[in-house]
Amino acid sequence: MPLPRQVFIAVIGAGGVGKCFLSQLQHLASNLSRSPSAPTYLSLILLSTSKKSIYHADYKSLNNWDTELQASATSPLPLPQLVEYLVKAPGKVVLVDNTSNQEIADTYPTFLKKGISIVTPNKKAFSSTYQLWTDIFSAAANGTGGGGYVFHESSVGAGLPVISTLKELVETGDEVRKIEGVFSGTMSFLFNSFQPVNGGGGKFSAEVKIAKEKGFTEPDPRDDLNGLDVARKLTILARLAGLKVESPTSFPVQSLIPKELESCSSGDEFLSRLPEFDGQMDELKAAAEKEGKVVRFVGSVDVPKGEVKVGLEKFDKSHPIAALKGSDNIIAFYTKRYGDNPLIIQGAGAGGEVTAMGVTGDLVKILSLLQ
């Protein structure tokens, strides 16, 4: 009969996704500790934000992390010291990176080589240079290395099983020909409101303002409208499909920021001036309407041609991409096995709870692999 085991968890990031993950971790830990066959005890040994941190030199579990973090005056450990602290833990360690921090992403190969596993929604680790991608999977046990495991399901579709589905298609020998979809909850909401299938819709600038008020955009909406978030997700999927995409700026990405507003000093200034350019978007809407179509902001990967692109496309009103509701994402995989009817994954692609679910699901995968 397997013996009980203890696994140590270190968490960086306690914002929206981080708080939801910590709540889900509590639920998971409770269930695993009661397993009749072989209980697993999860110990949260470190919790860090950009400003403060809590951990104990003797790796004692943090049972009241919320109160302790608020009261803490301890600065976060510099990354080299964090690596050393986790390496010396008396058991297997999983690092949960709930940030979008490039410096932490750059340190993944070091963590992995030292046997520390990683779960994360951090897109930057898997969409920056192709060299970093190679270094990560050369070090990981589920790559070609012998270090820790790394999973990042939530780096593309939050809790949607996008990466795991693509990996299974590839690993079971299917031929992925094209990946296409709406990969941004923000862009989905914007264009579903700007040009609904049944007609109407408001001015583009007004819809951007509503999206910001509802919390669908970044504090500065230009961080969504520049298309880079979608480009990062496409970079990850293209690489998983076998393309050596160098970076998210190495293929065409259409920005929806008028050139004249790129230099605005703030998001508020940008929003106040955006109505000046509504005419351009109205023209696009009218042209699509004439063809019986709607405009949507999509990303696509053409695998045989090795082409990746992000931008506005027109779709028939009967197309699944046109018929999306709210801020849902939709991803279609066109493969040899699935033929003309693609395998479609659809649902909420953003939000704290569903993103944290993707992270927690990856943690469960790692726990099943750790010996």
Helices (H) and strands (E) in the chain, counts: 16, 11
Q: Where are the alpha helices (DSSP H) in the chain?
A: 16-33, 65-71, 79-87, 102-106, 108-113, 124-127, 130-139, 154-157, 162-171, 185-194, 204-213, 222-225, 228-240, 267-273, 278-290, 352-369
Predicted pLDDT of residue 1: 55
**Distance from C-alpha of 136 to C-alpha of 130, rounded to nearest angstrom:** 10
For residue 44, list its beta bridge partners: 9
Beta-carbon contacts of residue 25 (< 8 Å; ≥ 6 apart): 9, 11, 42, 44, 360, 363
| Phi, then psi, of 264 in degrees rounded to 5 | -55, 140
pLDDT tens, position by position, 98-144: 999 999 999 999 999 999 999 999 999 999 999 999 999 999 999 88
What DSSP letter does each residue of 47-60 carry, written as one string? EE-SS-EEE-TT--
Per-residue pLDDT tens, the chain, 371 aa: give them. Answer: 567 899 999 999 999 899 999 999 999 999 999 988 889 999 999 999 999 999 999 999 999 999 999 999 999 999 999 999 999 999 999 999 999 999 999 999 999 999 999 999 999 999 999 999 999 999 999 988 889 999 999 999 999 999 999 999 999 999 999 999 999 999 999 999 999 999 889 999 999 999 888 878 888 899 999 999 999 999 999 999 999 999 999 999 999 999 999 999 999 999 999 999 999 999 999 999 999 999 999 999 999 999 999 999 999 999 999 999 988 999 999 999 999 899 999 998 888 899 999 999 999 999 999 97
Any idea which residue has 């509590």 for tokens?
Answer: 26
Question: Phi-psi region for residue 305, left (φ > 0), alpha (ψ -120 to 50) or beta?
Answer: alpha
Which residues carry out catalysis? 233
Predicted pLDDT of residue 144: 85
Longest CA–CA span in the chain (Å) reads: 70
Burial class (CB in 10 A: 0-12, 13-18, 19+), 305: exposed
Residue 311, helix vs strand vs coil: strand
Per-residue 3-state assignment (H helix, E strand, C coil) for 182-214: ECCHHHHHHHHHHCCCCCCCCCHHHHHHHHHHC
**Distance from C-alpha of 333 to C-alpha of 219, rounded to nearest angstrom:** 32
CB contact at 8 A, 347 and 325:
no
Predicted pLDDT of residue 145: 85
**Distance from C-alpha of 143 to C-alpha of 149, rounded to nearest angstrom:** 8
Q: What is the pTM for the complete model shown?
A: 0.94
What number of CA atoms fall less than 13 Å from residue 51's CA on the CB side? 7
